[in-house]
């Protein structure tokens, strides 16, 4: 296991009906609040009204309409609002896109720059940032308890991750009831994203990480069990609660710290979203089993077999056979959750952009040198092609 620092000081307020704590939390940071939210789901499910009611005593400025795969223009707009209104704290109410946008707004505002994309392009942000409070409405990214944000630039077809310790949310409200209204597609996509965060950390070359791997296996089983329940019964509190907490723990450092290397499927998926604006978790579900097949070899079959045994209960003892069965289980599971499992089904009808996307995936990440199995441009193209 490698050395690591685990300093994730987000104050998590998990559970039902903790709204009465919101005003107190916000007022600790100041009176001028930038309320960031998406395309209107919070207005439909009543959350918006409840937030306004709870925060009747503070001055609220709104940044509405954050896109899924949030865009740099929206970030720039938010940073401008912060400067014009002397904002003290950013309150993000939504899924990963809304929270990521809030983080990027804090970074761009803190940089006092008129070139917002430069802040994202730098990838690491260690400057000052307004405090961020979140109310999570979708179990998926883990953004509610991590330092990262992913922002898209449509001018350049780039979708880049950035982050920094000062962008870690100060407080996150995790009320599973706020995810009751998430539709089947986004519930499945969010669950696939959680699974992918766990896979990305699990399939890793650093030896002797039993703690991280054991936690990951438990979280994978949790998602596998609870996503179908939430799909069938969207208001099943316990299923939503388990998905929500799994999303947070899958990407707050718990399963990734102590490991080296780099992620594979996320680098490839970000290009699908950057060029075709598809849903992140869906892209991951499509790519993951193809990636697993592509990288499987005699040496790493044992790790896939471990995954099969501990997550799927596969009893086959020949590692390569068990590994293949585990990969098939992964594919079948995503399909059973209703995820369209080919690229044409999500509107990517031809392979004309695969080469340029693969080049970007390789150049914006370290997958060519540090991945579980290093991937060159031709490998990425192949994985895209086998996803057709």
Contacting positions for ligand NZQ (CB under 6 A) = 38-42, 45, 68-69, 94-98, 100, 137-138, 140-143, 146, 148-150, 178-179, 181-182, 186, 190, 193, 251, 266, 280-281
As measured in angstroms, the least distance from the Cβ of 281 to Zn ion is 7
Q: Which stretch binds Zn ion (CB under 5 A): 21-29, 162-170, 188-196, 230-238?
A: 188-196
Q: Are strands 32-37 and 59-63 parallel, antiparallel or unpaired?
A: parallel
Residue 40 binds: one of Zn ion, ligand NZQ, none (C-beta under 5 to 8 A by kind): ligand NZQ
Q: Which residue lies nearer to ligand NZQ by CB, 151 or 322?
A: 151
CA distances from 43 to 5, 49, 51, 136, 333 (A): 39, 7, 10, 14, 32
As measured in angstroms, the least distance from the Cβ of 20 to ligand NZQ is 20
Q: Residue of minimal CB distance from Zn ion?
A: 193
- Closest among 9, 12, 60, 8 to 37, alpha carbons compared: 60
Where helices occur in the chain by DSSP H, the ranges are: 22-29, 41-44, 47-54, 72-84, 96-111, 116-121, 184-202, 210-232, 237-250, 265-276, 280-295, 301-312, 319-336, 354-363, 377-386
Q: Which residue lies nearer to Zn ion by CB, 88 or 193?
A: 193
Q: Which residues in 192-221 contact Zn ion (CB under 5 A)?
A: 193
Residue 200 binds: one of ligand NZQ, Zn ion, none (C-beta under 5 to 8 A by kind): none
Q: Which residue lies nearer to Zn ion by CB, 100 or 193?
A: 193
Interface with Zn ion (CB under 5 A), residue total 1
As measured in angstroms, the least distance from the Cβ of 265 to Zn ion is 9
Q: Which stretch binds Zn ion (CB under 5 A): 108-116, 189-197, 316-324, 365-373?
A: 189-197
CA distances from 77 to 34, 68, 83, 272 (A): 11, 16, 10, 25
As measured in angstroms, the least distance from the Cβ of 95 to Zn ion is 12
As measured in angstroms, the least distance from the Cβ of 358 to ligand NZQ is 18
Examine residue 271 and tell whether it contacts Zn ion (CB under 5 A): no
As measured in angstroms, the least distance from the Cβ of 243 to Zn ion is 14
Q: Which residue lies nearer to ligand NZQ by CB, 88 or 193?
A: 193
Q: Are 291 and 384 in contact (CB under 8 A)?
A: no
Q: What 3-state DSSP class applies to 37?
A: strand
As measured in angstroms, the least distance from the Cβ of 155 to ligand NZQ is 17
Q: Are 136 and 56 in contact (CB under 8 A)?
A: no
Residue 290 binds: one of ligand NZQ, Zn ion, none (C-beta under 5 to 8 A by kind): none
Q: Which residues in 168-187 contact Zn ion (CB under 5 A)?
A: none
Residues 355, 138: Cα–Cα separation, whole Å:
33
Residues 172, 130: Cα–Cα separation, whole Å:
15
Concatenating the DSSP letter of every residue in 104-167 gives HHHHHHHHT-S-HHHHHHT-B--S----EEEEE-SSSS-GGGSSEEEEEETTTTEEEEEE-GGG
| Residues engaged in binding Zn ion (CB under 5 A) | 193
């Amino acid at each position: 296991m490698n050395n690591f620092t685990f300093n994730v000081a987000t104050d998590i307020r998990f559970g039902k009906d903790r709204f009465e704590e919101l005003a107190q939390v916000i007022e600790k940071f100041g009176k001028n609040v930038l309320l960031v939210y998406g395309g209107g789901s919070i207005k439909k499910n009543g959350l918006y009204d409840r937030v306004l009611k709870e925060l009747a005593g503070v001055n609220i400025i709104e940044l509405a309409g954050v896109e899924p795969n949030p865009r740099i223009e929206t970030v720039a707009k938010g940073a401008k609002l912060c400067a014009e209104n002397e904002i003290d704290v950013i309150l993000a109410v939504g899924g990963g896109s809304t929270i990521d946008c809030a983080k990027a707004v804090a970074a761009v505002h803190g940089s006092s720059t008129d070139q917002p994309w430069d802040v994202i392009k730098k990838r690491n942000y260690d400057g000052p940032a307004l405090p961020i409070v979140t109310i999570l409405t979708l179990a998926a990214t883990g953004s509610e308890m991590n330092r990262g944000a992913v922002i898209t630039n449509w001018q350049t077809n780039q979708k880049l991750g950035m982050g920094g310790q000062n962008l870690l949310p100060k407080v996150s409200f995790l009320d599973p009831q706020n995810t009751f209204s998430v539709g089947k597609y986004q519930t499945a996509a969010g669950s696939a994203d959680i699974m992918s965060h766990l896979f990305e950390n699990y399939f890793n070359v650093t030896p002797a990480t039993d703690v991280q791997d054991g936690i990951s296996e438990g979280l994978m089983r949790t998602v596998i069990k609870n996503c179908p329940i939430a799909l069938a019964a969207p208001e099943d509190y316990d299923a939503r609660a388990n998905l929500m907490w799994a999303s947070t723990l899958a990407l707050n450092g718990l399963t990734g710290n102590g490991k080296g290397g780099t992620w594979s499927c996320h680098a490839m998926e970000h290009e699908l979203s950057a060029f075709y604006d598809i849903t992140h978790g869906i892209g991951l579900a499509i790519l993951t089993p193809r990636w697993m097949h592509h990288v499987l070899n005699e040496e790493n079959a044992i790790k896939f077999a471990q995954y099969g045994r501990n997550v799927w209960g596969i009893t086959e003892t020949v590692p390569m056979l068990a590994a293949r069965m585990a990969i098939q289980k992964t594919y079948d599971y995503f399909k059973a959750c209703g995820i369209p499992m080919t690229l044409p089904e999500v509107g990517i009808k031809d392979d004309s952009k695969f080469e340029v996307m693969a080049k970007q995936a390789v150049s914006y990440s370290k997958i060519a040198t540090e991945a579980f199995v290093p991937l060159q441009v031709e490998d990425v193209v192949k994985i895209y092609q086998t996803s057709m």
